[in-house]
Amino acid sequence: MSDPRYIIGIDLGTTHCAMAMALLPTGDDAKDTSPAVTAFPVPQLVTQSGMESRPLLPSCLYFAHASEGALALPWDKERTFAVGEYARTRGAESPTRVVASAKSWLSHTGIDRRGPVLPLGAPEDVEKISPVEASFRYLEHLGEAWDRDVAKGDKSLQLAAQEVVITVPASFDAGARELTAEAAAAAGIEHLTLLEEPQAALYAWIDARGDKWRKEVKVGDVILVVDVGGGTTDFSAIAAVDSGGSLELARVAVGDHILLGGDNMDLALAHVAARKLEEQGKEVDRWQMVGLTFACRVAKEALLNDASLASYPLSIAARGGKLIGGGLRTEITREELVATVIDGYFPVVEASARPAVRPRGGLTQAGLPYAQDAAVTRHLASFLGRQADAIAKVAGASPTTSGTLLHPTAIVFNGGVMKSPALRERIVSTLDAWLVADGAAPVRVLEGSDLDLAVARGAVSYGLVRHGRGLRIRGGTARAYYVGIESPAPAVPGVEPPVSALCVAPFGMEEGTNVDLPAHELYVVVGEKVRFRFFGSSVRRADVAGTELHRWKKDELAELAPIEVTLPAGARAEGDVVPVHLHAAITEVGTLRLEAVPTTALVAEERWKLELNVRGEV
């Protein structure tokens, strides 16, 4: 296959997908050429038979009823499903036929992410698919659109032949990254790199500012990226450090994966609207509530982005009926938006505030593990408090103050929710109050990037950096990873054997690198089902590969999804206990691969490989 001609950036978002591109220069002047990064308008159905090209592709998938006929596209006249704007529109009328928030489901370790679970509550005539399949179909649509509008029959220009950078939340675990790569492979993408979304947002800002960005960022700066999208909230901190007299950027902290975003706000507004309807004597059933939530998403975006609107109308179809006669009608007012979204999700709180935790119900229905506390500002306070000493451990950094919080000096916003000036102002004013009280200066806002397209454009900029054009943000793994080591112990009722945590991948370990762990007296059991426990830490930056923890504080390590496998016995007997040493690697897509290598191999290349993903297969 020929070398890639384009770098393509794909923002595979919770509520929208976007794509950007840059043509790689060739020839003698390639090194002196600065390729332009441009957005790719995505052709999609906007009505059952009408297609338009738009900057954003809503991350919605609609399965048509047999009576509707085909949802024809130029490249598939018989298609029975739609991706994009028409699918989102149909969500308000036929919610059980629409897949939405697939990206959030992709990170949900409590389900089989390869199993047919979406759409939830779908009727029997609707095809049910997995979160991986949904992600694949979004990427498939983008690829088909690209091939039609750009490749135009030239195989060397097809999406599969290009260099593709897909963005993921910084807090995505290794399993979710692996599944994203799997969806990309199913869509035919061969040259794939994954990039954290907050980094992409900063790359986009650097690209938008051109050479001016160096006058706005200096050594000692700590840039806080606040990314609130449709389904997740992500916080990252990137430090400007001195590297041999040159400015260098290094990602120094990443927050937890928080399922809190625009989807939650849509649901909250839907409850407001439902109460108003019930006060009018109109009952809202569960099916209509889903449709009402879709309608509130449109209302929220309209009210947040147009300050002149006093209210926005909502119209919901009755089950099996049409809007006229059997539907429900109400509205969301600006006052309700402010009380519900701005004060409800971005309240003014103290820096010492922390997310509230409530006991979970013993029995629950299938659903996403949303954050229990709706306040983005409390989650931000928690992140800055936990990462208070992050800069002190970074080579080349120059922290100027000490206190109870990490002190950002600048802030970059990302995510569709952050398009609202009112929400950005609330975060900045709250953050400034914390910093001043903690002995630091207020932050400055780094403006200049398109929040809808920043991540896709930043992904392209990162691809160009990999070709030697621009400044690379040093990152590596956002956490240190550990494997649990069980110690032999006498059986005691109600007491499990003690477990230590062995660091197999330190914080910041770069993709594509590997390490042999120092010798430990370790054993694996072959031929029988065993369970491997894994842990991650976003705060233990000093641990190196081979560090063994026998005790740790409650908030230092978080247990990840375990892997249950049967290691093949091969030439050995089932149940054999084999002495091994460990070899760890971070793959190019950011997953952790762990190999147990026998100290005495019975056959050549005898070893057992585990990859930290959801399958738990060898």
pLDDT tens per residue across span 336-374? 999 999 999 999 999 999 998 766 555 444 556 678 899
pLDDT in tens, 189-225: 989 999 989 899 999 999 998 888 888 999 899 999 9
Element (H, E) at 535: strand 534-537
275 contact partners, CB below 8 Å, separation of at least 6: none
Please enumerate in sequence order all residues whose Cβ is within 8 A of that of 503, keeping only pairs 6 or more positions apart, or say none. Answer: 480, 481, 482, 543, 544, 545, 546, 547, 548, 549
Residues 165, 9 contacting (CB under 8 angstroms): yes
Q: Which pLDDT score is estimated for 576?
A: 92
What is the structure's pLDDT at 362?
A: 52
At 435, which amino acid appears?
L
Residue 504 phi, psi dihedral angles, 5° rounding: -110, -15
Please check whether residue 165 is in contact with residue 195, taking contact to mean a CB–CB distance below 8 angstroms: yes
CA distance 261 to 59: 15
The CA-based diameter of the chain, rounded to the nearest angstrom, is: 78
**Is the distance from CB of 223 to CB of 203 less than 8 angstroms?**
no
- Peptide bond just before 119 cis, omega within 30 deg: yes
Looking at residue 364, its pLDDT comes to 46
Q: What is the rounded distance in angstroms from the CA atom of residue 403 to the CA atom of residue 440?
A: 9
DSSP letter assigned to residue 76: B
Q: How many residues does the chain have?
A: 618
**CA distance linking residue 275 with residue 527, whole number of Å:** 58
CA distance 222 to 234: 16
In whole angstroms, what is the distance from residue 531 CA to residue 567 CA?
A: 10
Fill in the amino acid letter for 321: G
Helix (H) or strand (E) holding 102: helix 102-106
- CA-only gyration radius of the chain, Å: 25
Helices (H), 306-405: 323-326, 334-337, 343-345, 376-386
269, 300 in Cβ contact below 8 A? yes
Which SS3 state, helix, strand or coil, does residue 591 take? coil
Rounded distance between C-alpha atoms, residue 165 and residue 8, angstroms: 6
pLDDT reported for residue 369: 65
Count, in order, helices (H) and strands (E) of the chain: 14, 31
With a cut of 50, which residues of the chain have pLDDT below it? 1, 321-325, 363-365, 613-618
Domains and CATH numbers, the chain: 6-194 (3.30.420.40), 262-345 (3.90.640.10), 480-611 (no CATH)
Report yes or no on whether pTM surpasses 0.85.
no
**Residues 99, 101, 105, 107: is their CA dihedral positive or negative?**
positive
User: What's the pLDDT score for residue 274?
Assistant: 93
Tokens of 193: 């790199």
Closest CA to 169 of 448, 354, 414, 382: 414
Question: Which residues are CB-contacts of 325 (< 8 A; sequence separation ≥ 6)?
Answer: 318
Distance CA 231, CA 263 (A): 6
